[in-house]
């Protein structure tokens, strides 16, 4: 009996010591010398691994920053200016102050604005539906309403509004990680500056068809009439392929374009209500079409 115990103890100890020695040498042999600053930078980053920076994860981003030695073209949208400033301080670099961005849905083809003409019966993924056909409303540019963007969002910043059939951006949660922009097979989402007091003006449509066919599918489509382009005093609006686009960096948020838009496809967010006088002066449509609200 004693013998068995003794043998077991000796055998196990022997195995343990051998393994320890092997492990030690292996660890020496395969030692990876890493810049300790990578760990520091990684600790500052939010750790969401969302890929919004364009790298595989926060670690990869930290490695890239340390390797690059400057902060040009490197930005963590989630951590924002505070995180980037802190990283800059640690590495002794200069961080450029960047305007915070937010995802914006450039489609208002809700179930009422763009009435469904067919029924879709298949897997609930936009990627497949986009390959299959033009969409329930017939608009080949508009939102398919199957929520690939919602699935892609890691920050609970998107949800599907059942009443409109469109995704809604929750402003406080959105970190502009770009995931929804990449997930949407039609490229409807755009990252735009958050704007002063969160006020934003944008064209809620990416339909490049001519006026008549666009309007046939959706009441609030941009028909490329160019009225907003003429109205804008700051050259912020361009018209390419029958589609108006408002440059957020030139736009002064005067809201005049929204008033002249005949289809109400220009959206204004978080503005105080208009003074009545102004509304009367410009011949605005009596009943503005419902605009996607943002929480």
Partner 1 sequence: MILKTFKLGGVHPPENKVSAGAAIQHLPLPDKLFVPLSQHLGTPAKAIVNRGDDVKTGQLIAKSVGFISANIHSPATGKVAKIDQIIDQTGYKRTAVFIDTQEDVWEEGIDTSPDIERTIKLSKEEIIQRINDMGVVGMGGATFPTHIKMMIPEGKQIQYLIINGVECEPYLTSDHILMMEKGEEILIGTSILMKALGVDKAMVGIEANKPDAIAHLTKLTEKFQGITVHALKVKYPQGGEKQLIKALTGREVPSGKLPLETGCVVDNVGTAYAVYEAVQKNKPLIQRVVTVTGNAARKHANFLVRVGTPIEYLIEHAGGMPADLGKLISGGPMMGKALVSPEAPITKGSSGLLLMPETEAKRAPIKNCIRCARCISACPMGLEPFLLAQLVPLDKWDDAEANRIMDCIECGSCHYICPSGRPLLDFIRLGKDKVGKIIRTRVKQ
Partner 2 sequence: MNNLLTISGSPHIHTTDSVRKIMYSVIFAMIPAMLVSVYFFGLDAVRIIGVSVVACVAVEYLIQKYLLKGDVTINDGSAVITGVLLAFNVPANLPTWIIIIGAIFAIAIAKMAFGGLGKNPFNPALVGRVFLLISFPAQMTTWPIPKPLFAKSVTDALTGATPLGLLKDGHLANKTIDQIMSDPAMPDYIQQLVGFQTGSLGEMSAIALLIGAAYMFYKKVITWHIPVSYLLTALLFAAIFWLIDPTYYADPLFHLITGGMILGVFYMATDMVTSPMSAKGQIIFGIGCGLLTMIIRFWGSYPEGVSFAILIMNAFTPLINKSFKPKRFGV
Near partner 2 in 98-117, by CB under 8 A: 116-117
Which residues in 214-243 are b (16+ Cβ under 10 Å) and which e? bbebbbbbbbbbebbbebbeeebbebeebb
116 binds, among partner 2, partner 1, none (CB under 5 to 8 A by kind): partner 2
| C-beta of 133 vs 234, nearer to partner 2 | 133
Instruction: Report the length, in residues, of the chain.
Output: 295
Binding of partner 1 by 138 (CB under 8 A)? yes
Count residues near partner 1 (CB under 8 A): 16
User: Could you identify the residue written with the tokens 């003006």?
Assistant: 201
User: In angstroms, what is the minimal distance from the CB of 261 to partner 2?
Assistant: 30
Near partner 1 in 100-119, by CB under 8 A: 117-118
Binding of partner 2 by 124 (CB under 8 A)? no
User: Which of 49, 95, 91, 83 lies closest to 66 in space, CA to CA?
Assistant: 91
Binding of partner 1 by 49 (CB under 8 A)? no
Binding of partner 1 by 254 (CB under 8 A)? no
What residues does 105 pair with on adjacent strands? 189
User: In angstroms, what is the minimal distance from the CB of 289 to partner 2?
Assistant: 23
Among 132, 163, 278, 282, binds partner 2 (CB under 8 A): 132
What are the structure tokens assigned to 79, written together? 């951590």
Asked if 248 and 237 touch (Cβ cutoff 8 Å), the reply is no
| C-beta of 78 vs 214, nearer to partner 1 | 214
Rounded-to-integer distance, Cα 202 and Cα 205, Å: 9
Rounded-to-integer distance, Cα 133 and Cα 265, Å: 24
Among 23, 118, 124, 282, binds partner 2 (CB under 8 A): 118
User: Could you identify the residue written with the tokens 């967010």?
Assistant: 269
User: Could you identify the residue written with the tokens 């497949």?
Assistant: 128
Binding of partner 1 by 57 (CB under 8 A)? no
What are the structure tokens assigned to 5, written together? 């115990």
User: In angstroms, what is the minimal distance from the CB of 131 to partner 1?
Assistant: 6
| DSSP β-ladder status, 166-169 and 158-161 | antiparallel
Binding of partner 2 by 133 (CB under 8 A)? yes
**By the criterion CB under 8 A, which residues form the site for partner 1?**
117-118, 121-123, 125, 127-128, 131-134, 138, 140, 209, 213
**By the criterion CB under 8 A, which residues form the site for partner 2?**
116-122, 128, 132-133, 136
């Amino acid at each position: 009996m004693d013998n068995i115990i003794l043998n077991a103890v000796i055998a196990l100890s022997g195995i343990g010591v051998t393994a320890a020695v092997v492990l030690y040498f292996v660890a020496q042999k395969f030692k990876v010398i890493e810049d300790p600053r990578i760990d520091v930078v990684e600790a500052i980053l939010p750790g969401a691994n969302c890929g919004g920076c364009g790298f595989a994860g926060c670690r990869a981003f930290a490695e890239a920053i340390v390797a690059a030695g400057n902060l040009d073209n490197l930005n963590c949208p989630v951590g924002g200016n505070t995180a980037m400033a802190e990283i800059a301080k640690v590495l002794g670099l200069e961080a450029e102050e960047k305007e915070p961005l937010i995802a914006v849905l450039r489609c208002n083809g809700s179930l009422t604005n763009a009435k469904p003409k067919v029924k879709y019966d298949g897997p609930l993924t936009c990627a497949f539906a986009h390959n299959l056909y033009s969409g329930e409303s017939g608009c080949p540019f508009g939102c398919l309403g199957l929520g690939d963007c919602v699935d892609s969002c890691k920050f609970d910043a998107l949800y599907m509004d059942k009443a409109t059939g469109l995704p809604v951006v929750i402003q406080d949660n959105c970190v502009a990680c770009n995931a929804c922009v990449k997930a949407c097979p039609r490229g409807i989402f755009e990252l735009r500056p958050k704007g002063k007091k969160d006020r934003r003006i944008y064209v809620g449509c990416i339909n490049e068809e001519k006026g008549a066919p666009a309007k046939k599918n959706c009441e609030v489509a941009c028909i490329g009439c160019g009225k907003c382009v003429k109205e804008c005093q700051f050259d912020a609006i361009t018209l390419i392929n029958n589609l108006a686009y408002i440059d957020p960096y030139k736009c002064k948020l005067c809201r005049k374009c929204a008033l002249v838009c005949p289809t109400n496809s220009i959206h204004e967010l978080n503005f105080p209500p208009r003074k009545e006088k102004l509304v009367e002066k410009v011949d605005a449509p009596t009943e503005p079409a419902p605009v996607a609200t943002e929480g």
